[in-house]
Structures are given as C-alpha cells and as structure tokens.
Amino acid sequence: MGRNDYKKAIFTIIILAINSGLFLFLSIFYGQQGERLLIEYGGLYEIAVNYRGEYYRFVSSMFVHFGIEHLASNMLLLAILGYNLEVEKGHIKFLIIYFVSGIGGNVASFWWRSLGDVNIMSGGASGAVFGLMGAILGSYIKHGRPIARLSKQGILVMIGISLFVGLTTAGIDNAGHIGGLLFGFLISLILL
C-alpha cells in the first residue's frame, strides 16, 4: 500500500481519528468512559432528545464509545470496510453512506426503544459500520462483483457474525445495528 492509497481513503482516516481522539480526550480528562459521561457528551438519550430538543445527538452519538473494546471493534471494522469502500466508490459516496447509515441506525434505535417505553442511552459508530457492510453487500448485488477483496460470501459471513454477537450479548443496540445495515444497503442501491 503506497502513500497515495491513504489519500484515497482520507475520510475513513479522519473519522477514525475523530473517534479515537474524542475517546482519548474524554478518557484523559474525565476518566473511565461510562453511561453518565456519554449522556453529557453526546450519547443518544431519549430524555435529552424528547424533552430538551437535542437532536444533534443523532449524529454526535456516532462518535462516543463506552469503552476501549467498544471503540477498538468499531474502528477495526471501519478501517477495513471504510478503506475499501472509499477507495472503490469515492469520498462523497462513502461519506453519504456512512452518515446516512449512522443517523438511520440511530433513528431506528430511537424508534424501537420508544415502542417499548425504554429509556436507555446508546453510542458508538456501529450503526454506520453496519451501514458500510450493507452498502458493500448492496453494491455486490447491484454490480455482481466484489469491492476490493471483500467477496459476497465474506461480507455475508461478517454480517452474520456481527448480528449473532449482537443478538447474543447483553446491552447491544441491535435496532441501531439492523437499522444501519438496512439504510446502508438501500442507499448503496441508489448511490452505487
């Protein structure tokens, strides 16, 4: 991978840096990441949205994480998927897919929780990351060829494992993951 290859995925690198930098900043100045801290610094929290009108949380929650493991798993997948998608499809399409998927996943999560009158907080880039998976799958279905080295079987296995882990682990925002996946898939059919 040459120096110019990194320029082709500049927005993936910028998003990785923002997520990691924000996590590091909050960890240094405020200690261990936790739900209370994320409520103050942009996590998706129903009370803040419904009663204080803090709609920016549909975006800001994509950049705050609960702990180093949460951050590391999201950033690893973002690095792999984002790099390949941005290099193959371009900066603008990548950004549109990333943010539409992340916001769409957050809207799906918010809607799902409102049905059950559940007042919990969520955060992280996973809705957007699932959207990248959905977009790669959508692109494969639309064009009949893989993106970079990401084959249809490989992306299906990645989606299956990721959904399985989410569904079998307590405290995971599955509505956000599935919403991001669907939004990424649908937007890829339009954009790619």
Active site (catalytic) residues? 126, 177
83 burial type by CB count under 10 A (0-12 exposed, 13-18 middle, 19+ buried) = buried
Region of 136 (left: φ > 0; alpha: ψ -120 to 50; beta: rest) is: alpha
Which of 102, 113, 124 shows the shortest CA–CA distance to 49?
Answer: 113
Alpha-carbon 4 to chain mean position = 26
CA distance 18 to 166: 24
